[in-house]
Amino acid sequence: MGATSARRPAGRRRDREQVAQGPSARPMTGTPPPGPPRVQTRITVPDSKIMVNLLGAGDEILRLVERSVTSDVHVRGNEITITGDPADNALAERVFSELLELIEKGETLTTDAVRRTVGMLEQGSAERPAEVLTLNILSRRGRTIRPKTLGQKRYVDAIDSNTIVFGIGPAGTGKTYLAMAKAVQALQAKQVNRIILTRPAVEAGERLGFLPGTLNEKIDPYLRPLYDALHEMLDPETIPKLMAQGTIEVAPLAYMRGRTLSDAFIILDEAQNTTPEQMKMFLTRLGFNSKIVVTGDVTQVDLPGGTTSGLRVVREILENVEDVHFAQLSSSDVVRHRLVGEIVDAYARWDAERENQQAQGVHAVPGRPAQGGRAGRRR
């Protein structure tokens, strides 16, 4: 937390002193100018229990903070000393201050929370990490659903303040999960009377008419992820009753045609697999006192070759329509295994390189360098 921005817990003391850097005489001609002065910032944590939580088991949290900031960090007793350039110290100080506030709010620090705190502070956003990471949406049996990244928090805020929201981003960014949590929250608060969850039922070239089994057996694999999320947010024993009453409806997109959906929270998942005509059909189902959230990943389109994705073109069509918001999530918002974000970035770079090669008329063979490239030397 910066010296002028956010609140510090009572009893925490910070002192700053200049560290001697040798004679103050003017440097000789030809010598490089001195760098920024190194200063020390001290943070005192009077409560030993808070200090133990701040350092983590086996100093795990402390070591992660040390690796994440440029300044040197030393702990002695109940005092944290940060040494470095003023700007670097300010970042490290804010990291510790945000982590201390998380502890004061009853949170147990994790390495994931530390990484996300550092990432948000480095982005220089107005939102404070301690506020983002404690924004509860839904709680059930001791488990709380909340945004874990700045992008997710802004996505949730957009759902609160707009009638139609598009959540667009790679796999693992919580697009559908957070939308469903907001839907359940709205239902429990009696802001809507029902939840409608839908997906296109044509993926990977399979059409329902050519699949074996009854209609329910055919559509179940497409809708199963939505059922799974519902079971995490509601008592599983109540879900069949709510579905029988029509309070919760899970159905293929084709079932939306010809309907007007009022007093409902409606979620269209996997929207990259809609055509422009299907997207228009779905959006025009909107009735009074309803909210629509559309989620998808434009890099994972399963439509037959040459078919335009409705999610790709809808932004161009509705960008300037009031009360419609487009939330763009990225690899930094991935909340699955750390490698998932790196995989998303790697594929994005590969796609960009391939498009660049195609634009230049260079045909690359998968797994080999492009023409004109240079293979690694063999020793």
Domains by residue range for the chain, with CATH: 36-132 (3.30.1370.10), 149-333 (3.40.50.300)
Structure tokens at 85: 């350039």
pLDDT at 117: 93
Question: pLDDT digit string (tens) for 323-378?
Answer: 999 999 998 888 766 677 678 778 778 877 877 777 777 555 455 444 444 444 44
pLDDT at 127: 87
pLDDT at 219: 59
pLDDT at 356: 79
More confident residue, 203 or 75: 75
Indicate whether 274 pLDDT > 90.
Answer: yes
Q: How confident is the model over 69-92, as a mean pLDDT?
A: 93
Q: How confident is the model over 310-319, as a mean pLDDT?
A: 95
Whole-number average pLDDT of the chain = 83
The burial of 355, by beta-carbon neighbours within 10 Å (0-12 exposed, 13-18 middle, 19 or more buried), is given as exposed
Secondary structure (3-state) at 271? helix
pLDDT level of residue 305 (50, 70, 90 thresholds): confident
CA angle at 163 for the pair 159 and 165, rounded to the nearest 5°: 50
More confident residue, 159 or 213: 159
pLDDT level of residue 298 (50, 70, 90 thresholds): very high
> Which of the listed ranges 132-146, 243-257, 310-324 does the model predict with the highest average pLDDT?
310-324
**Which among 4, 312, 357, 2 has a CA at the least distance from the CA of 168?**
312
Indicate whether 10 pLDDT > 50.
Answer: no
pLDDT at 358: 76
pLDDT at 366: 52
Is the torsion defined by CA of 205, 341, 149, 51 positive or negative? Answer: positive
Indicate whether 129 pLDDT > 50.
Answer: yes
Indicate whether 286 pLDDT > 60.
Answer: yes
More confident residue, 294 or 303: 294
Distances (CA, A) of 293 to 51, 157, 161, 190, 372: 42, 12, 12, 18, 46
Distance CA 53, CA 282 (A): 49
Question: pLDDT digit string (tens) for 40-73?
Answer: 999 999 889 999 999 999 999 999 999 999 999 9
Could you give the residue ranges of the DSSP H alpha helices within the chain? 48-55, 60-68, 86-104, 111-123, 129-132, 150-161, 175-188, 215-233, 239-245, 276-283, 310-318, 338-359
More confident residue, 217 or 317: 317
pLDDT at 214: 54
pLDDT level of residue 143 (50, 70, 90 thresholds): confident
pLDDT at 228: 86
Indicate whether 2 pLDDT > 50.
Answer: no
pLDDT at 124: 82
Q: List Cβ<8 Å contacts ≥24 apart for 179-183.
A: 179/267, 179/293, 179/295, 180/226, 180/229, 180/230, 180/233, 180/267, 181/137, 181/138, 181/145, 181/233, 182/137, 182/156, 182/265, 182/293, 183/265, 183/267, 183/293
Write b or e for each residue in 67-91: b if 16 or more Cβ atoms lie within 10 A of its Cβ, otherwise e.
Answer: ebbebebebeeeebebbbeeebbbb
pLDDT at 306: 83
The burial of 116, by beta-carbon neighbours within 10 Å (0-12 exposed, 13-18 middle, 19 or more buried), is given as buried
pLDDT level of residue 123 (50, 70, 90 thresholds): confident
pLDDT at 216: 56
Q: How confident is the model over 110-131, as a mean pLDDT?
A: 89
